Structure 1
Amino acid sequence: MTTAAPTPLTLAWLNDAPAEAALAALDGLYEHSPWIAEAALRQRPFTSLAQLKHAMVRVVREAGREAQLALVRAHPELAGKAAVAGTLTAESTGEQARAGLNHCSPEEFALVQRLNAEYGARFGWPFVLAVRGPRGEGLHRREILATLQRRLQGHPEIELVECLRNIDRIAEIRLNDKFGAAPILGNPVWDWAEQLAVHTDPGYGERGELTVTYLTDAHRACAAQLQAWMRDCGFDEVRLDAVGNVVGLYLGSDPSARRLLTGSHYDTVRNGGKYDGRLGILVPMACVRELHRAGRRLPFGLEVVGFAEEEGQRYKATFLGSGALTGHFEPAWLDQQDADGVTMRTAMLAAGLPATLEAIAAEARDAARYLGFVEVHIEQGPVLAELDLPLGVVSSINGSVRYLGEVVGVASHAGTTPMDRRRDAATAVAELALYVEQRAAAAPHLVGTVGMLEVPNGSINVVPGRCRFSIDIRSTTNEVRDAMAADVRERLAAICERRGLAYRLEETVRAAAAPSDAAWQRRWEAAVAATGLPVHRLPSGAGHDAMKLHEVMPQAMLFVRGENAGISHNPLESTTADDMQLAVEAFTHLLDALSHDTP
């Protein structure tokens, strides 16, 4: 074969090209660091671009700290001296120009220089950011400055990892350019998420925050938008059900065939992110759009549900949307009031929903009519980001138990009460919190959190007489969770007995663990492997609609890596169009494999 690299590159050529020619073709992916591509090319042949990307990422991660620091330091400052002098690489020049960094105002330029100097002094390396952003089209310089200011406050070890992650993202985008590749399936998913995020509850949009709670105007606007998109994608039936779920049906070749159920929620926590829940609606929508465009029918129906409520933000009715499908809607929910005194029944009627138990009960699905339930979800944690993996297969959704408690002692003068005479409620809870941390850390796949601590009417010169607190315990199995819960209750009693305190502890939530169905988990594993990525299994510590569907049918989930160390329930929640592309590809592989398995 010819050693001249084609434009754009192809995997077939790269796999067969002489080492020197292949390395030359990949020049410029990493700043002044050809050793990364050189090491990755030793793993040829590659079956997918994703596999090649991951091979280079692993080279960086396994290179050792000194090599990693050298790689970071090989990058130029943003709008720094090299940019002014015109000595950047061609790739960096184009990327910084695309972000408008060559058009900074004098004030912006001065700010960038000051922040660059502060960052370098603090960390000892230049600030690195993939300025082409999660969609690959470029961040605005306002976003770049805000990110630089935020990350300047980070811990050095965490910041080094962030720099490496951004370097990997820069290389990914550059590799796409060389191969003429674009996430044509991931881009619309990213765009949909952005467009859906323009709808937010009153009082939040003014602060640039995303909050969508059950049956508000913003919530109803999201439902209307999802229905419009589903129709545009080619769903055969689209409707709003009795609790506000958006239901789209793409019929199989036999309209009476059983269906695969999928979806997630479109409500959000307060000041949350754009992808939690919503990704699980948008990814299968993209799959249906491709099926419709190809004029293809599956041997089973595909039902996509945008669940109206999962977060329990406006009413204490978590999993309301999926609960309606499983037949577990609580009648008392209709009479619950929100913070403004509006009952759920009133909110439903205002939204044009029937608000009757009969109509809601009619939404319960006959599990015999379904093959199972699958859900795509952003990970909401750091595991995939730390492993540099775009996708992960969920092995189980953790079971959880939550408590609200209060310890009661005696409020007394901080100056006149001797240390051995105190009945301090706050230090007792602090002791308990440390025990929760230590007990959870002693076992795998077990987490414990004291997330709320409050000293009512606390004062700087008063020994706390009361302390309210919460406890959240989660594990992949109910048995491990319950064993820790018993130990925590026993330790609380012992602490209060020793310190002469009273306490109360109320269990507020108990959710059973939901292990993934083995057959469906294997289907997700095969789908991930088909993209060329290694398969990684991990439990989910967060609750999901799949937990409710687990009560009536087999379920399994696919996780998508989150940016910014996987943070979620936060405006920094993010993922890239390339990772969304892989999620759509994996979902498509699952549908294809299921088509062969379904009579």
Structure 2
Amino acid sequence: MSTTAVPPSPVLSLSLLNAADEDAFVALLDGVYEHSPWIARRAFAARPADGFASLAALKHALASVVREAALDEQFGLIRAHPELAGKAMVAKTLTAESTGEQRAAGLTQCTPEEFARLQQLNADYNARFGWPFILAVRGPRGEGLTRPQIIDTFARRLNAHPDIERAECLRNVHRIAEIRLNDKFGVEPRLGNQVWDWAESLARFSDPGFAENGQLTVLYLTQAHRAVAAQLADWMRECGFDEVGIDAVGNVVGVYHGEDHGQPGEAPRLLTGSHYDTVRNGGKYDGRLGILVPMACVRELHRQGRRLKHGLEVVGFSEEEGQRYKATFLGSSALVGRFDPAWLDQADADGVVLRDLMRDAGLPATMDAIQALRRDPARYLGFVEVHIEQGPVLNELDLPLGIVTSINGSLRYVGEVRGLASHAGTTPMGRRRDAAAAVAELILYVEERAGAVPEVVGTVGQLQVPNGSINVIPGRCRFSLDLRATTDAARDALDADVRARLAEICERRGLSFTLERTEAAAAAPSDAHWQSRWERAVGVLGLPVHRMPSGAGHDAMKLHQALPQAMLFQRGLNLGISHNPLEAISNDDTELCVRAFQALLDEL
């Protein structure tokens, strides 16, 4: 079911709002936060002397008031909202804003079955949490969720922890307020909508076995992968790129020339982009956001007939996730001359050799062609990348954008502890050689040791007891180990301590172990000058500058080996979850992301 947005109310302006006294300020923002004028009143008291610099600054100020409010005030705000398709809707006692939103989502036209389902969900939710379920029914694009989407989200969130659900309710309260403010100001996030629509359209391509189940999976050089590449190339041409092509490893490359193209001092280029492959059953925005945002910038430059003093090269990297082959960062490695020739002889789980796969896809599959992709650093200003945060930090701070200070260095291992499988009933506790208990002890140490140092993390993500049985003490336990930190020194200190503790645990318990390192990635601190440029670009929008490390790996890690680099994070919805179908962004956050990128380009 498609829906239309609620018609905007009369237009409000920042100049009018900034000139208003307290009572007028509160009155002008009436209805933005449901039955809660105290939020506007406190935002007025905290407003800058020269007023709010932008609508984004106003939104953040209002959200900050709620974040800093007492817990009972936050609960009061949540309880001020009506149930979805609840008694207030039936009795027609909703506020005008809520009436329009529920009508736009089709909740006033529920089938008897849908209405009964919503009533049961309302009752179950209230019994579990004690407050009404809050959902911004106009959705991440502002046009409205369908009734099945609303019901599915309702049912999923019913199982959440109360603290998490309270935070999610408040996030949706802010999203409702944001859309209402857009209506009051007559604002449409046109650029954010374009990027959001592109991402949604790309998600129609998915690999067999996943597409049939509505899941997004795009592995290297599958038919879906090649279709995504072709679509990106077509869109780049439509945007006005001067050169568009697909290179020898499947990267989609678009170039928008600088104003002195073809002259003796041909403009150097800024390099940007991210990856378009996905994990299995992944999200729509991981990687792809970093391709689509600069595409939107080029589209606007071309529409305006503008050239920058420098060229802009946007690369959709063909592979970053390492899902089909162990050649992680295959796409970006080629650009820095680090493509390992041995990768060509790797086989995937079905026995398909990478060299043969590339040839079947029409790529040359030769090292000469791949080595020719290496970029000359002298021709480039640097590399910047936009990426969804993939974490909860920006959500918790009510911030749409964050500045990356460093990409964590990481070490990965696969290991196995070996003990003695024996009878669970007849072996005394003091005489056991329990391999799984040893790994459990290691997990707790990793959690304790990593948690004791800021910006250091450690994870045991895989556990397996081969041939395990309910009544047998585990004689073997396989596990993985992932260690990350913002600096190589902190990473290596964690690594040494964890390996030493594993050896101590096994010695004390009478066990043996093996540990194989499968990956080592150096930390990639952001270039100070490029980080400052991102900070100024975010400041232009009137937003606070928040600096943060990236715990995840990115193509910028590879480009860091040849060029100065810096990244900009955009907040993800649904608690910032990523590598998951719940990964989501809003059109308003994406609008700000595009505007920040434009500001960075304009400064250059």
Given candidates 185, 195, 198, the residue that maps to 1:189 is 195
What's the counterpart of residue 536 of structure 2?
Answer: 526
Q: TM-score, normalised by structure 2?
A: 0.97
Measure, in 1, the Cα distance between the counterparts of 2:585 and 2:556.
21
Give the aligned residue type for 1:156: P
Measure, in 2, the Cα distance between the counterparts of 1:34 and 1:422.
64
Q: Is the contact between residue 22 and residue 44 of structure 2 (CA under 8 Å) also seen in structure 1?
A: yes
* 1:85 to 2:95 alignment: no
Measure, in 2, the Cα distance between the counterparts of 1:62 and 1:499.
49
1:478-528 Cα distance to aligned partner (Å, 9 max, x none): 001101100111111111111110111111100000000000000000000
* 1:122 to 2:132 alignment: no
What's the counterpart of residue 109 of structure 1?
Answer: 115
In the TM superposition, 1:330-345 aligns within 5 A as: 330-345=340-355
In the TM superposition, 1:483-522 aligns within 5 A as: 483-522=493-532
Given candidates 13, 24, 27, the residue that maps to 1:21 is 24
| CA-CA distance at 1:63 after TM superposition | 1.0
| CA-CA distance at 1:37 after TM superposition | 1.3
* 1:139 to 2:145 alignment: yes
Give the aligned residue type for 2:168: E
| CA-CA distance at 1:408 after TM superposition | 0.4
Measure, in 1, the Cα distance between the counterparts of 2:23 and 2:450.
52
Measure, in 2, the Cα distance between the counterparts of 1:385 and 1:119.
23
In the TM superposition, 1:286-325 aligns within 5 A as: 286-325=296-335
* 1:69 to 2:75 alignment: yes
What's the counterpart of residue 59 of structure 1?
Answer: 65
Q: Tell me the SS of whatever aligns to 1:185.
A: helix
In the TM superposition, 1:372-391 aligns within 5 A as: 372-391=382-401
1:167-214 Cα distance to aligned partner (Å, 9 max, x none): 000000000000000101100000000000000000101111000000
Count of residues in Structure 1 that have an aligned counterpart in Structure 2: 589
* 1:209 to 2:215 alignment: yes
Measure, in 1, the Cα distance between the counterparts of 2:472 and 2:341.
45
Give the aligned residue type for 1:556: A
Measure, in 2, the Cα distance between the counterparts of 1:10 and 1:351.
54
1:338-389 Cα distance to aligned partner (Å, 9 max, x none): 1111111111111111111100000000011000000000000000000110
Q: TM-score, normalised by structure 1?
A: 0.98
| CA-CA distance at 1:41 after TM superposition | 2.2
What's the counterpart of residue 589 of structure 1?
Answer: 599
Give the aligned residue type for 1:419: M
What's the counterpart of residue 597 of structure 1?
Answer: none
Measure, in 1, the Cα distance between the counterparts of 2:87 and 2:361.
57
Measure, in 2, the Cα distance between the counterparts of 1:230 and 1:309.
19
Measure, in 2, the Cα distance between the counterparts of 1:129 and 1:475.
36
Measure, in 1, the Cα distance between the counterparts of 2:213 and 2:369.
38
What's the counterpart of residue 276 of structure 1?
Answer: 286
Q: Tell me the SS of whatever aligns to 2:18.
A: helix
* 1:149 to 2:152 alignment: no
Q: Tell me the SS of whatever aligns to 2:413.
A: strand
Measure, in 2, the Cα distance between the counterparts of 1:477 and 1:558.
19
Given candidates 167, 174, 177, the residue that maps to 1:171 is 177
Q: Tell me the SS of whatever aligns to 1:260.
A: strand
What's the counterpart of residue 367 of structure 1?
Answer: 377
Percent of aligned pairs with the same residue? 72
Give the aligned residue type for 1:26: L
Measure, in 2, the Cα distance between the counterparts of 1:361 and 1:299.
29
Measure, in 2, the Cα distance between the counterparts of 1:41 and 1:295.
41
* 1:328 to 2:334 alignment: no
Computed over aligned residues only, the root mean square deviation of the Cα atoms, in angstroms, reads 0.8
What's the counterpart of residue 464 of structure 2?
Answer: 454
| CA-CA distance at 1:17 after TM superposition | 2.2
Q: Is the contact between residue 410 and residue 523 of structure 2 (CA under 8 Å) also seen in structure 1?
A: yes
Measure, in 1, the Cα distance between the counterparts of 2:497 and 2:52.
51
What's the counterpart of residue 3 of structure 1?
Answer: none
In the TM superposition, 1:412-561 aligns within 5 A as: 412-561=422-571
What's the counterpart of residue 252 of structure 1?
Answer: 258
| CA-CA distance at 1:7 after TM superposition | 3.4
Give the aligned residue type for 1:259: R
* 1:160 to 2:166 alignment: yes
Q: Tell me the SS of whatever aligns to 1:28.
A: coil
Name stretches of at least 5 consecutive residues in structure 2 with no aligned partner.
1-8
In the TM superposition, 1:2-13 aligns within 5 A as: 7-13=10-16
Give the aligned residue type for 1:305: V
| CA-CA distance at 1:20 after TM superposition | 2.2
Q: Is the contact between residue 424 and residue 471 of structure 2 (CA under 8 Å) also seen in structure 1?
A: yes
1:102-139 Cα distance to aligned partner (Å, 9 max, x none): 11110110010001000001001000000000000000
| CA-CA distance at 1:13 after TM superposition | 1.1
Measure, in 1, the Cα distance between the counterparts of 2:66 and 2:428.
57
Name stretches of at least 5 consecutive residues in structure 1 with no aligned partner.
1-5, 595-599
Q: Tell me the SS of whatever aligns to 2:241.
A: coil
Measure, in 1, the Cα distance between the counterparts of 2:482 and 2:594.
34
Q: Is the contact between residue 25 and residue 40 of structure 2 (CA under 8 Å) also seen in structure 1?
A: no
Measure, in 2, the Cα distance between the counterparts of 1:126 and 1:395.
39
| CA-CA distance at 1:156 after TM superposition | 0.3
